Each structure stands twice: as C-alpha cells, then as structure tokens.
Amino acid sequence: MDRDRFWELVDAAREHASEPDEIAAALVELLVKTSAEEIIGVELELNALLSESYRWDLWAAAYLVNGGASADGFDNFRGWLLTRGRAVWETALADPDSLAGVVSEHLPSFLECEDMVCVAVDAYEQVTGDEEGLWAAVEAAAAHIADEEELSFDDPAEMRSRLPRLWALTG
C-alpha cells in the first residue's frame, strides 16, 4: 500500500457514489474484498494523511466552513475532505483558503464524514470479526513516538540532570 494506491481506491469508490457517506460505504465494500493486510495498509496511509493534515490553518478552515469544529468535528471534516478526492485534498493542504472554491457549492451544508475516517476500521472488523489486529498495527506504527516529557525550567535539579554541560556553563 502506498499513497497512490490509497487514492486509487478512493477514486474507485467515488465512481460508485457521489454523497460522502455513500463514498465511504463504497470504499468499505471495496476493502472487504481485499485482505486484512491490505486494509491495515489503508489504515496506516489514512493515519499518515490525518497526521499531515493536523494543522491549525486547516482546522481554522473547518471552523469557518462548519460554524465551529471540535476535535472530533475536525477529524470528520477531514473525512469529508478525503471524499472529495486527491486533487481537492492536496490543494486544500497547500492552501486551506482554496476551500472557498470547493465549499461554496455545498453551503450551508454541514461538511463532515465520520464514516470516511473509519473505513479501514469498519472493513477490518467485517473481515476479521474484531478491530484488535488493526489497532495493534496502528500502535506499533507509532511506537517510535515517545511521550514528550515537559521539563520544569525553574527546577535546578531537573535542568542540571538533563543539560549538565549547559548547566555548568550557565546555571
């Protein structure tokens, strides 16, 4: 699975449907015909796209378009954006304000599609009977990300222990 293959699948789903929830359902139908391994590949590619798009400027665009956007509302807005296909997605990420040209035909609709961010989870559950294997793969893929610990800059012992040479110079 790679980025091109992910968008090919989205395009194939878009050929079967036009409404966001229908596109998500069509994509799930396509995925259940593949394998659990392929579905995990789609999930990880989706995770990468959600990670790259976790940006304040795009969140601000969602806030304006939908008249507000909570954390899960922003996820679902990006689900809707995924259903618009690769060109719209990539243009929006390059310039969130470009969405003005896309959303004007939908307003005052509410642009969210939770089903689209859950396509791989739903397909995986249909194929294997539960979600456990998929979540284990998601967690393993993020294993290199450590919890970043917050340091107390005004705690001499902590600063000396973390940055001993700089502490010796400046402390």
Partner 1 sequence: MDIREMIAAERTDLAAVLTGLTERQWDSPTLCAGWRVREVVAHTTMPFRYSGGKFLAELARSGMRFNAMSDRCARRDAAALSSADLVDALAVNVHHPWKPPGGGFAGALSHEVIHGLDYTVALGLDRRVPEERLRAVLDSASGTTARRHFGVDLDGVQLRADDLDWSLGSGAPLTGAAQDLLLVLCGRRLPAGRLAGAVHQLTRGKRSVAG
- Footprint of partner 1 (CB under 8 A): 43, 46-47, 50-51, 54, 59, 63, 66-75, 110, 112, 114, 117-118, 135, 138-139, 142, 145-150
The number of beta carbons lying within 10 Å of the beta carbon of residue 79 is 24
* Residue among 59 and 167 whose Cβ is closer to partner 1: 59
CB of 143 to partner 1, least distance (A): 8
**Of the candidates 20, 34, 49, 43, the residue with the CA atom closest to the CA atom of residue 119:** 43
Phi and psi dihedrals of 45, rounded to 5?
A: -70, -40
* Residue among 129 and 168 whose Cβ is closer to partner 1: 129
* Residue among 38 and 75 whose Cβ is closer to partner 1: 75
Report how far residue 64's alpha carbon sits from residue 36's, in angstroms, rounded to the nearest whole number: 38
Q: Confirm if 103 and 5 have CB atoms less than 8 A apart.
A: no
SS3 121: helix
- Residue type for 53, please? S
CB of 84 to partner 1, least distance (A): 19
CB of 112 to partner 1, least distance (A): 7
CB of 147 to partner 1, least distance (A): 4
* Residue among 55 and 171 whose Cβ is closer to partner 1: 55
